[in-house]
Amino acid sequence: MKNVSLIFSLILSLCFALLFQLAALAQEENSRRFWPPEFRPQATTTNAKPRVGRYKSVTPRPVTIAQAEPATLGVTLWLMRTPEELKQATSGSRALSSNDEAARILLKKKVGNAERDQEVIPQRIQANTPLKQGQLLRLSVEVPQNGFLYVIDREKYADGKLSAPYLIYPSNPQGQEHAVKAGRTIELPGGDNVFEVKLHSEETHAALAGEVLSFIVTPKPLENLPRGNADESPIKLAEAQVAAWEKQWGKNMLVEQLELEKSAGQARTTTEQKALTNAAQTLKQGDPLPQTVFRLSLKRGNPFIVQLPLRIGK
């Protein structure tokens, strides 16, 4: 009987191991489909971590992208948390997906008329997460193709209307900071700046329902853009010009939005932080994947525009 029990235990162990391996393979196949390995350089070390994560479509209406090599954009929203806030928010769960250490960064926080440094840890959130007044945000963008990235921001008011469009990236359209390539990640805003969630517009004082971000990717730099401001503040664009881009590169185009499952809530790793602060360093195939992915019914390499609405919760 002991031998029978031992054999039965061994069979169960083998079955569980096989199921675990099959689940891991299914996850890797899913991530390969939506964020293929060629989107990033191959890791140089032989003990590179395996790809993990599974993407799930969150597009309101089912979309089928039949394009063999669709244009793709990866975005990760980061909520700035103090170490204490992150510990409370992730109580009972893992804040990291690997053994990598959580990245800590310093922000300038205004206290009265003075500024002081505050240590925070960026935490992933899903793109459709309702935002709250006073929250501090950053976002990282990854474009797996050679080209140039432009990000436009418009306030969305409670009555559904939009503000004038402002170019928030790059701050100098005549430079080369906005050049993208596979594996390179770009963080907005740069330096020690952050986006702060507010309930009312600073310009019009109207109640806000959210923000609408437009990501434009082109194979060549856009021409005839206004010159950057000396203080690197957002650049106001002509509404007619933005409407023309939307019509030219966004009309009648199918867009599928996906979210990386079981990844929201995780802290930024030091590997991700190094890639964001050093333009010469790129993310490799085994590094954390973008939280939100957009796939378009357009062949990779063509210009496109994608909108990401950010919602302010009540």
Instruction: State the pLDDT at residue 3.
Output: 60
At 206, phi and psi to the nearest 5?
-75, 155
- What does the alpha-carbon distance between residue 175 and residue 228 come to, in Å, rounded to a whole number? 10
Identity of the amino acid at 13:
S
Residue 103 has pLDDT above 90, yes or no: no
Bridge partners of residue 124, in order along the sequence: 78
Instruction: State the pLDDT at residue 25.
Output: 40
Closest-CA residue to 71 (of 248, 242, 294, 309): 294
Q: Is 47 helix (H, G, I), strand (E, B) or coil?
A: coil
Instruction: State the pLDDT at residue 86.
Output: 80
Instruction: State the pLDDT at residue 6.
Output: 62
- What does the alpha-carbon distance between residue 79 and residue 121 come to, in Å, rounded to a whole number? 8
Please tell me the pTM assigned to this model: 0.84
Residue 5 has pLDDT above 50, yes or no: yes
Residue 174 has pLDDT above 90, yes or no: no
- What does the alpha-carbon distance between residue 21 and residue 66 come to, in Å, rounded to a whole number? 29
Strand 179-180 and strand 185-188: pairing?
A: unpaired
Write out pLDDT tens, residues 106-127: 776 666 677 778 889 999 999 9
To the nearest whole number, what is the mean pLDDT of the chain? 84
* E-strand stretches of the chain: 55-57, 70-81, 105-111, 114-125, 136-142, 147-157, 166-169, 179-180, 185-188, 195-196, 208-218, 235-236, 255-260, 292-299, 304-311
Domain boundaries, the chain: 35-80+122-311
Residues 6+ apart with CB under 8 A from 67: 296, 297, 298, 299
Find the distance separating the first CA and the last CA of the chain, reported in whole Å. Answer: 64
Write out pLDDT tens, residues 205-240: 899 999 999 999 999 999 989 988 888 889 999 999
